[in-house]
C-alpha cells in the first residue's frame, strides 16, 4: 500500500526507513544551552516526547529556518559613530509568513532571539493565526539614547532587513523597548526604499498610518482575558482579588489597568528602576505618569519599595510576569504563593520551576497562550491593512476574546485529558500543528 501523502507526525514504531537501507535517525540527544534558548529547547523536547514526534520533524523544528546578523553603525548626536549588532531569526514558515517583534535591549543576542522566534512559532500555531515565528533584536540600551539616535538605529535596522521583511514574508512588531513610533520609522524606511507606502510590513503601528484599534493594549488585554478564564476555572472571584505585576511597560501597565477595571486590587508593581507596594492598592494612573516622567515607578508617594524577588513571593491571588525571561526558576518557584501565575512576558518561567509550581497548585497560564493577544491583534492589523478596511475597538476586542479563549479552552482540556501541566499542553498542541503543516508541505526539492 502506498503511504499517505500526508506524512504522519508521530514516530513510527517500526516500518520503512525514509532512505531504504539506512537506519532511521534517532532523536538527537537533548542538549540544552543556558538561558532562554535552553528553556525553549527543553520545552520543545518535552512536547516532542509527549506527542512522540517523528525524529526527522523534530530535527527540522528544533532549528531556526533562517538567521541574520547585522552590523548597525549609527551616528550619535555628539558626532561619534556607535556600532550595534542586530539580529533577525525566522524559526518556521510552514503555516505562513514570519511574525515576531523586535526588541532593543543590552542583553539581546542570537541565542535569545532564536528562543523568542521559536516561541513565536508555537504561539501563532496555538492561537491558530496563519503565521510562522520570527523575532528580532538589537543589543543596545535605548534608555541611554536620545529619540533621534533610536530613530537612526531603527531606520538602519529596517534598511538592513529590507530584503527580509514584507507583508508576504516577515512582519515585525514592537517588543521590549520598541513601540508604535519605532514601527512607524521602520515602516516609513521600507516604504521610502520601495517608493510607495507599505502599511502591512509592520504591525503595532500608530493608528494614523494604518495601525489597529486595540493593538496598544492587546497583549495586556489578552493576559486579562486569560486570567479571567483561569480564575473562573479555579473558582477564584476576581472582584476583590489581589495582584502583583512585574514590568510596567506595554504589557504590564495594560494588564494592571485592565485587572483593576475588573475590581482586582493591584498592590505591587516593579520595573527596571525598582518597585512599589501598597497594601491598600496602588494608584495606577499616578504610577503611569511617574513612569513616563522619571522612567520608573520607584519611589512613588504612599508606597514602600519592593524587589522583583519579593514581588514573586507576595501573598496575592494573581502574579503577572510582564518584564523579561528567566524570572521564576527552581530556586524561587517554591516561594510563589499566588493561585494564578500569568506569563505576560516570553519565557519568564524556567523549565526547572514548572514541576514545583504544579506540585504547589499554582495555575500557570503559559506564555504562548497568555501573551498571544499581541500577535492576535497584529494579525487583525495585517488583515485590515490588506483589505484597507478598518474595524472598531469593539470588533477587535470581541474577536480577540473569542480567539484567545478558544485556544485557552483547548489548552485546559488537553492538560486535563493528558494529565499534564498547561505549558506542556499548549506546546503539544502547537508543535503538533506546526509539525503537521511541515509534513503536509513536504521536503523541497
Ligand atoms: P516594554 O519595554 O514596554 O516594558 C518592559 C517593562 O519591563 C518595563 O516596565 C521595564 O522597566 C521592565 N523591566 C525591564 N527590565 C526589568 C527588570 N530587570 N526587572 C523588572 N522590570 C524590568 O516591553 P513589553 O512590550 O511590555 O514586553 C514585556 C514582555 O512581554 C517581554 O517579555 C515581551 O517579549 C513580552 N511580550 C510583549 C508583547 C507586546 O505586544 N509588546 C507581546 C507578547 C509578549
Q: Global pTM?
A: 0.95
Q: Which atom of ligand 1 is nearest to the CA of 179?
A: 3
Q: Do 218-372+422-426 and 66-196 fall under one CATH topology? A: yes
Distance in Å, CA 347 to ligand 1 centroid: 11
Angle between helices 422-441 and 35-50 (to 10 degrees): 80
**Residue 23: what pLDDT?**
46
Which residue's CA is minimally distant from atom 35 of ligand 1?
Answer: 345
Distance from C-alpha of 288 to C-alpha of 293, rounded to nearest angstrom: 9
**Residue 29: what pLDDT?**
54
CB contact set of 216 (below 8 Å; sequence gap of 6+): 180, 250, 254
Which residue's CA is minimally distant from atom 36 of ligand 1?
Answer: 345
Distance in Å, CA 87 to ligand 1 centroid: 18
Distance from C-alpha of 181 to C-alpha of 203, rounded to nearest angstrom: 11
Distance in Å, CA 322 to ligand 1 centroid: 5
Instruction: Check if 331 is active-site.
Output: no
Report yes or no: 276 and 305 within 8 Å, Cβ to Cβ.
yes
Beta-sheet pairing, 66-75 with 81-92: antiparallel
Task: For a ligand 1 pocket test, name from 112, 122, 214, 249 the mutation site with the most ligand atoms within 8 angstroms of its C-beta.
Answer: 249
What grid cell was written down for 67? 538567521
**Residue 205: what pLDDT?**
98
Distance from C-alpha of 206 to C-alpha of 381, rounded to nearest angstrom: 11
List helix spans (H) across 109-179. 110-126, 147-160
Task: For a ligand 1 pocket test, name from 272, 284, 320 the mutation site with the most ligand atoms within 8 angstroms of its C-beta.
Answer: 272
Distance in Å, CA 324 to ligand 1 centroid: 6
Catalytic residue among 99, 123, 135, 205: 135
Which residue's CA is minimally distant from atom 18 of ligand 1?
Answer: 272
**Residue 402: what pLDDT?**
98
Alpha carbon dihedral 152, 155, 158, 160, in 10-degree steps, equals -60
**Residue 32: what pLDDT?**
80
Counting as low any pLDDT under 50, the low residues of the chain are: 1-5, 14-25, 27
Using one digit for the tens of pLDDT, what is the confidence trace for 168-201? 999 999 999 999 999 999 999 999 999 999 999 9
Report yes or no: 79 and 151 within 8 Å, Cβ to Cβ.
no
Q: Which helix (H) or strand (E) holds 200?
A: none
Q: Tell me which fold the domain 218-372+422-426 belongs to.
A: Rossmann fold (3.40.50)
Q: Which helix (H) or strand (E) holds 108?
A: none
| CA distances, 304 to each of 95, 270, 319, 338 (Å) | 48, 11, 18, 20
Compute CA 34 distance to the chain's CA centroid, rounded to the nearest angstrom. 19
Q: Which of 57, 62, 64, 66 is nearest to 6 (CA)?
A: 57
Distance in Å, CA 256 to ligand 1 centroid: 13
Buried b (16+ CB within 10 A) or exposed e, 136-154: bbbbbebeebeeebbbbbb
Distance from C-alpha of 117 to C-alpha of 162, rounded to nearest angstrom: 19
> Dihedrals φ, ψ of 137, to 5°?
-160, 155
Distance in Å, CA 299 to ligand 1 centroid: 20
**Residue 3: what pLDDT?**
41
Q: Which atom of ligand 1 is nearest to the CA of 323?
A: 7
Cα separation of the two ends of the chain: 24
CATH 2.30.30.760 is right for the domain spanning 66-196: no
Which residue's CA is minimally distant from atom 30 of ligand 1?
Answer: 345
Q: Which of 278, 291, 290 is nearest to 250 (CA)?
A: 291
Distance from C-alpha of 166 to C-alpha of 151, rounded to nearest angstrom: 20
**Residue 126: what pLDDT?**
99
Q: Which residues approach ligand 1 with their CB closer than 6 A? A: 174-177, 219, 246-252, 270-272, 308, 322-324, 344-346, 371, 374
Distance in Å, CA 175 to ligand 1 centroid: 7
CB contact set of 314 (below 8 Å; sequence gap of 6+): 244, 267, 268, 277, 306, 337, 338
Distance in Å, CA 19 to ligand 1 centroid: 47
Distance from C-alpha of 120 to C-alpha of 228, rounded to nearest angstrom: 23
Which residue's CA is minimally distant from atom 14 of ligand 1?
Answer: 272
Q: Which helix (H) or strand (E) holds 310?
A: helix 308-312
Angle between helices 215-234 and 373-387 (to 10 degrees): 140
**Residue 370: what pLDDT?**
98
Instruction: Tell me the domain boundaries of the chain.
Output: 66-196, 218-372+422-426
Report yes or no: 100 and 173 within 8 Å, Cβ to Cβ.
yes
Distance from C-alpha of 138 to C-alpha of 84, rounded to nearest angstrom: 7
CB contact set of 198 (below 8 Å; sequence gap of 6+): 166, 167, 187, 190, 191
Task: For a ligand 1 pocket test, name from 102, 173, 250 the mutation site with the most ligand atoms within 8 angstroms of its C-beta.
Answer: 250
Q: Which atom of ligand 1 is nearest to the CA of 378?
A: 40
Which residue's CA is minimally distant from atom 28 of ligand 1?
Answer: 323
| CA distances, 434 to each of 203, 321, 377, 415 (Å) | 23, 27, 21, 19
Task: For a ligand 1 pocket test, name from 271, 328, 377 the mutation site with the most ligand atoms within 8 angstroms of its C-beta.
Answer: 271
Beta-sheet pairing, 81-92 with 170-174: unpaired
Which residue's CA is minimally distant from atom 8 of ligand 1?
Answer: 249
**Residue 34: what pLDDT?**
81
Amino acid at each position: 500500500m502506498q503511504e499517505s501523502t500526508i506524512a504522519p507526525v508521530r514516530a513510527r514504531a517500526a516500518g520503512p526507513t525514509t532512505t531504504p537501507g539506512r537506519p532511521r535517525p534517532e532523536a538527537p540527544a537533548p542538549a540544552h544551552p543556558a538561558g532562554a534558548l535552553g528553556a525553549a529547547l527543553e520545552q520543545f523536547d518535552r512536547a516532542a516526547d509527549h506527542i512522540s514526534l517523528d525524529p526527522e520533524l523534530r530535527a527540522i523544528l528544533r532549528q531556526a529556518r533562517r538567521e541574520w546578523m547585522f552590523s548597525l553603525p549609527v551616528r550619535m548626536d555628539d558626532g561619534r559613530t556607535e556600532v550595534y549588532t542586530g539580529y533577525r531569526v525566522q524559526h518556521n514558515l510552514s503555516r505562513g509568513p514570519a511574525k515576531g517583534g523586535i526588541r532593543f535591549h543590552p542583553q539581546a543576542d542570537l541565542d535569545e532571539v532564536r528562543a523568542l522566534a521559536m516561541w513565536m512559532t508555537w504561539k501563532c500555531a496555538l492561537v491558530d493565526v496563519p503565521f510562522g515565528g520570527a523575532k528580532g533584536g538589537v543589543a543596545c540600551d535605548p534608555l541611554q539614547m536620545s529619540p533621534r539616535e533610536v530613530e537612526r538605529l531603527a531606520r538602519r535596522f529596517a534598511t538592513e532587513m529590507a530584503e527580509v521583511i514584507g507583508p508576504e514574508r516577515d512582519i515585525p512588531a514592537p517588543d521590549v523597548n520598541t513601540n508604535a513610533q519605532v514601527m512607524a520609522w521602520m515602516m516609513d524606511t521600507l516604504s521610502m526604499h520601495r517608493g510607495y507606502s507599505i502599511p502591512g510590513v509592520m504591525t503595532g503601528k500608530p493608528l494614523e498610518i494604518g495601525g489597529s484599534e486595540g493593538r496598544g493594549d492587546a497583549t495586556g488585554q489578552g493576559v486579562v482575558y486569560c486570567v479571567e478564564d483561569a480564575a473562573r476555572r479555579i473558582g477564584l472571584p476576581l472582584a476583590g482579588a489581589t495582584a502583583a505585576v512585574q514590568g510596567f511597560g506595554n504589557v504590564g501597565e495594560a494588564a494592571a489597568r485592565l485587572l483593576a477595571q475588573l475590581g482586582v486590587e493591584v498592590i505591587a508593581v516593579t520595573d527596571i528602576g525598582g518597585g512599589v507596594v501598597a497594601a491598600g492598592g496602588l494608584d495606577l494612573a499616578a504610577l503611569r505618569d511617574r513612569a513616563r516622567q522619571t522612567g520608573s515607578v520607584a519611589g512613588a508617594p504612599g508606597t514602600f519599595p519592593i524587589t522583583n524577588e519579593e514581588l514573586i513571593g507576595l501573598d496575592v491571588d494573581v502574579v503577572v510576569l510582564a518584564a523579561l525571561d528567566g524570572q521564576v526558576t527552581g530556586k524561587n518557584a517554591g516561594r510563589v504563593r499566588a493561585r494564578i501565575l500569568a506569563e505576560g512576558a516570553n519565557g519568564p518561567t524556567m523549565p526547572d520551576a514548572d514541576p514545583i509550581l504544579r506540585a504547589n497548585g499554582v495555575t500557570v497560564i503559559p506564555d504562548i497562550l497568555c501573551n498571544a493577544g499581541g500577535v492576535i491583534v497584529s494579525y487583525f492589523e495585517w488583515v485590515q491593512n490588506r483589505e484597507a478596511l478598518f474595524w472598531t475597538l469593539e470588533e477587535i476586542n470581541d474577536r480577540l476574546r473569542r480567539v484567545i479563549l478558544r485556544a485557552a479552552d483547548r489548552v485546559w482540556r488537553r492538560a486535563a485529558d493528558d494529565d499534564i501541566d498547561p505549558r506542556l499542553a499548549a506546546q503539544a498542541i502547537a508543535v503538533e500543528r506546526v509539525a503537521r503543516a511541515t509534513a503536509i508541505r513536504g521536503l523541497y526539492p
